[in-house]
Amino acid sequence: MKLIKCHLSRFIPHHYPVMLDDVWKFQEFLFSNPRILCLTGAGISTESGIPDYRSEGVGLYATSKSRPVQFQDFISNPKIRQRYWARNFHGWPHFSSVQPNDSHRRVAEMEQNCLLSAVVTQNVDRLHTKAGCTNVIELHGTAHEVICMQCNYRISRYEFQETLKGYNEEHIVKPIEVRPDSDVELTQMQIEGFFVPPCPNCFGVLKPDIVFFGDNVPKSRVDKVFNHLEESDALLVLGSSLYVYSGYRFTLRAKELNKSIAIINIGKTRADHLADLKINAKLSDILKSVKC
């Protein structure tokens, strides 16, 4: 069987065509489980042009030496905050304009047809909401909101963009590369001089409402997902390697609860050994092939 090289998005890994047998098995999974909890990862957004981190050959880790900012570094180091917000400022216009793809719309259709109990996403792009999903749990937060680390101040990322623009009117650069969490690659010279304002309420540190690497998902959010899982018949994982524990834990709990688990992802995942059904395919290819 020949690998497909995707020309629609350079962020989609090479993959095999969907097998008819996989379509039948996935259709049976949907018919056998009236209420499914859906967990999505970066792989569902690559078809919208947002890269992931770990896909072989095309993910950020395979194409760049840069790594995501760590929570403690962001909090403790003003220079790292300056670098983060400078890159985020220049990446935001593109990132915020990205639109849902066929897979997002298909998931929204499944939710509207009451097949899904909830949609839990590891992504911060809010594309599920743009596609029409109404019951979305943003496990890692969202890039669309900015919060103060010291008080309850909160501002939309769109509004904060105008604030940053006001302080950095002459900071014009040509970004090098878009990244998964809405920022871009900039050189150190391009970062110099960028001003990041403090919280207007308490002069504290402003941060996107995202769970950075090295930080923890709020317990209340995790418990909410566990509650949905207990009330569901099965767990469906779409486009996630489940490499990080924040998502992997839900496959472990599903197994403990004797729930059916289906995983659709290009390449191996951390939970392949737990899955009742694993399909190695591009999401839109398999999702558009079934009735729901």
pLDDT range class, residue 8, cuts 50, 70, 90: very low
Mean pLDDT calculated for residue range 225-242: 97
Please give the C-alpha separations between residue 289 and each of 40, 82, 101, 235, 284, in angstroms, as whole numbers: 18, 46, 15, 19, 8
Active-site annotation holder among 15, 90, 140, 144: 140
Ligand-binding annotation for 267, yes or no, is yes
Copy the structure tokens of residue 117.
Answer: 């109990």
pLDDT digits (tens, 9 = 90+) for 29-63: 999 999 999 999 999 999 998 886 644 444 344 34
Ligand-binding annotation for 58, yes or no, is yes
Phi/psi at 156 (5° precision): -70, 150
Ligand-binding annotation for 202, yes or no, is yes
Top-tier CATH class for 20-287: alpha beta
Give residues with Cβ within 8 angstroms of 249, minimum separation 6. Answer: 222
Burial annotation 1-22 (CB, 10 A radius, 16+ → b, else e)? eeebebeeeebbbebeebeeeb
Mean pLDDT calculated for residue range 85-99: 91
pLDDT at 187: 66
pLDDT at 181: 52
Mean pLDDT calculated for residue range 224-229: 98
The type of residue at 126 is R
Ligand-binding annotation for 265, yes or no, is yes
Ligand-binding annotation for 49, yes or no, is yes
Copy the structure tokens of residue 128.
Answer: 């599920």
Question: From CA 193, how far away is CA 246, in angstroms rounded?
Answer: 36
Ligand-binding annotation for 217, yes or no, is no
The type of residue at 128 is H
| pLDDT at position 132 over 90 | yes
pLDDT at 227: 98
140 is catalytic: yes
Q: What is the pTM of this model?
A: 0.88
| pLDDT at position 146 over 50 | yes
Range from 13-17, 229-233, 251-255 carrying the lowest mean pLDDT: 13-17
